Structure 1
Amino acid sequence: MAPPRNRRPGFSRRAQYGLFLSYVVAIGGALIAVVLIALSQLNAPAYSALRGAVREVTAPISASLGGVRRGITGVPSGIGQYFGVVSENQRLKKQLRQSGDLVQRARTLGRENARLRRLLQLRDRDPKTVAAARLVSSSPGSTRRYAVLYAGSRQGVRKGQPVRGPEGLIGRVLETSPNTARVLLILDPESIVPVQRTRDGLPAIAVGRGDGLLDIRSADMANAPFLAGDAFVTSGTGGIYPPNIPVGRVTRNSRDSAIARPFAGPDSVDFALVQQIFMPEAPPEPEPTGEASDQPS
């Protein structure tokens, strides 16, 4: 039997080229190593310069490969930090909402504390105060404006007594029960309060509109000018309301009558003072019990 023509079975040209290139690389590496060893022994300065040039070439490549390696190894920790940051962000948002609620409650308590302090100072300064009590309800949705005061006849509250808050006049007592009283607010259309302007003493009448505002009407002057910002206080006329209690402030310029906003809104007042009537009616004179008779001398 004739021998096969290909005496190297299983070898392809690609394998032959690969084997040849590996030999070339190995021999070239050996020659470069021999040259470098000889250069380091025979000419050390040239070897140092060559080594520095190699470093200059390989340093950027090493830095890039190091950055890639650090990026790959930092992926797990980055994922963990991301989820940690998300949870921390949610926790901080929750804490911020709680802090906002606490700040809001603190502001509300601060405003209420300030109103109560003014009310206490007013009560201590005014010897005519009958009682200090809470306004437990009011009727903002009706044309008739009333409020309920948590103090009644047992606390000395009587019909007709004025009711005021730290900011100004609220109304007057309309009827009483043992522990509560019904207050007619100055916003009610049936409420009429004699007032005067603070800047010149112009007498006027404050009448409720039923919508949270007041009508200020001149009492002795036709076409009296009203300017925005004019403040009106009680004048003491009529004998019910003590003088100089703030009532309302004009909202815009007008003549003969003006719309004013009350200083003390019943919706924003928690506590109120009941005061004595400024000029109570004199008691009736006692009737004579018998007629005088003449005695003969």
Structure 2
Amino acid sequence: MAPPSRRPGHSRKAQYGLFTGYVIAGIGALIGAALLAISLLEPAAFGGLRGVSIDVTSPVSRTTARAREGGQGLIETVRGYLRAGSQNAALKREVELARIRLAAAQSLKQENARLKGLLGLGNSDVEPVAITHMLGSSGSSARRFGYIGAGRDRGVTPGMPVRTARGVVGRVLETSFTTSRVLLLTDSQSVLPVRLADRDVIAFAQGRGDGRIDIRLINLGLNPLKRGDMFVTSGAGGFFQPGLPVALVEQLTDDGAIARIVSDPAAADFVAVEPLYQPVLTKAARTPVDQPLPGSQTGEEGGDAPSAE
């Protein structure tokens, strides 16, 4: 197969066009070579030409620069908006976390205050058998019981009084190894001897089963009570120490009053279990009947005993 011919054929016009293209290409090559030689030998020779070209293209460059700056500004604005949104979300999370920590700190502060109050026990000389959590209490039935986190493992026995730093809660009814059931003051089967804190008025406090207690006076007659009177334990019965806060009078009745307990079991976190109260006996009460009193004489050591007149 013969190689293709590069000749334009017999058309003179095509031959002249091809020749003109070669001539122009040669002239362009010569001019380019000359300009390259000049730029290498005299770098400053084209300074004026470059300045003119820059002046001619500067409006277009300024427009392009403004468009570029505007685009960058828009992008930065969008980035700043997105960054501000994420920062606001982070700040909200930090504020929420700070609030949670503040609430936890306040709760811990209150818990420490309650524990300090229980440890002090109103400047009482009685050392508690145990200080423990109030696990729960019944609030819907007529019977009112509480449950504490201490039992026989810590020396708790039935009958021991249970109290908070504010006042009496009840007494231990049943014990297991690690927990105990408490008969609350508001139970209908709970009866506690009480007296007025500032006057010698004796009464019994009996639970109503509705969160309050009935104050029944021993001496009936003119009702000496008034709203706001504080009743405390009298010490009678041998369970509770005398002088422990019990209830505040809310409503007067014919034979006493209806009172609100000062220590709500539902609001108690910690309670103290105290030993049973044992009144101090006098020396005469402790002396057996068949034992002679000091100063008496027997027949063996000092003759016959003097006859009673």
**TM-score grouping bracket, smaller chain normalisation:** 0.5 to 0.7
Say if 2:262 is the partner of 1:263.
yes
- Residue type of the partner of 1:249? L
CA distance in 1, matches of 2:86, 2:257: 59
Q: Which residue of 1 aligns with 2:63?
A: none
1:195 to partner: Cα distance: 1.2
Q: More deviation in 115-124 or 203-212? A: 115-124
Structure 2 partner of 1:272: 271
The residue aligned with 1:144 is 143
Which residue of the partner structure matches residue 249 of structure 1?
Answer: 248
Counterpart check, 1:156 vs 2:160: no
1:186, distance to aligned residue in structure 2 (A): 0.6
Aligned counterpart, 1:232: 231
State the secondary structure of the residue aligned to 2:266: coil
CA distance in 2, matches of 1:194, 1:226: 16
Distance 1:251 1:73 in 2: 75
Q: Which residue of 2 aligns with 1:43?
A: none
Q: Which range moves more in the overlay, 211-220 or 116-125?
A: 116-125
Report the secondary structure of 1:102's partner residue.
Answer: helix
The verdict on how the C-alpha distance between 1:279 and 1:74 changes in structure 2, with shifts beyond 3 A counting, is same
Alpha-carbon distance, 1:225 to partner: 4.5
Aligned match of 1:190 = 189
Q: What is the distance in 1 between the residues matched to 2:91 and 2:196? A: 54
SS in 1 for 2:117: helix
Match of 2:97 in 1: 98
Which of structures 1 and 2 has the bigger CA Rg? 2
SS across alignment from 1:90: helix
What residue in structure 1 maps to residue 41 of structure 2?
A: none
- One-letter identity of the residue aligned with 1:101: I
For the residue of structure 2 that corresponds to 1:170, the secondary structure is strand
Unaligned regions of 5+ residues in structure 2, if any? 1-69, 282-309
Q: Look up the match of 1:174.
A: 173
Q: Which amino acid aligns with 2:125?
A: D
Cα distance in 2 for residues equivalent to 1:81 and 1:197: 71
Indicate if the aligned counterparts of 1:163 and 1:169 stay in contact, CA closer than 8 A: yes
Q: Deviations over 1:21-57 (max 9, x none)?
A: xxxxxxxxxxxxxxxxxxxxxxxxxxxxxxxxxxxxx
How far apart, in 1, do the equivalents of 2:187 and 2:204 lie?
14
Instruction: In structure 1, list runs of 5 or more residues that go unmatched.
Output: 1-70, 283-297
- Give the Cα separation in 2 of the matches to 1:260 and 1:77: 70
Structure 1 residue aligned with 2:209: 210
**AA at the equivalent of 2:263:** A
User: C-alpha distance in 2, partners of 1:153/1:204?
Assistant: 33
| 1:102-123 Cα shifts (integer Å, max 9, x gaps) | 1111111111111111112229
How big is each residue's C-alpha offset from its partner over 1:273-294, in whole Å with a ceiling of 9 and x where there is no partner? 22222238x9xxxxxxxxxxxx
Percent of pairs with identical residues: 40
Q: Which amino acid aligns with 1:121?
A: G
- Residue 162 of structure 2 aligns to which amino acid in structure 1? V
Q: Compared with structure 1, are the counterparts of its residues 77 and 142 closer, same or farther at alpha carbon in structure 2 (3 Å cutoff)?
A: same
Change (3 A) 1:154 1:93: closer
TM-score by length of 1: 0.62
Using the TM superposition, give the Cα deviation of residue 263 of structure 1 relative to its aligned residue in structure 2, in angstroms: 1.7
C-alpha deviation, 1:77, in angstroms: 5.0
TM-score for both structures, normalised by structure 2: 0.60
User: Structure 1 residues 96 and 251, CA, compared in 2 at 3 Å: closer, same or farther?
Assistant: farther
SS at match of 1:129: coil
CA pair 128-104 structure 1, distance change in 2 beyond 3 A: closer
Shift of the 80–241 alpha-carbon distance from structure 1 to 2, 3 Å rule, reads same
Cα distance in 2 for partners of 1:177, 1:94 equals: 46
Report the alpha carbon displacement of residue 236 of structure 1 after superposing the two structures with TM. Answer: 1.0
Give the aligned residue type for 1:109: L
Q: Residue 214 of structure 2: SS of its match in structure 1? A: strand
Give the Å deviation of 1:149.
2.5
Q: CA RMSD in A?
A: 3.5
CA contact (8 A) 1:227 1:254 kept: no
Which residue matches 2:304? none
Q: Which stretch of the first structure deviates more once superposed, 161-170 or 246-255?
A: 246-255
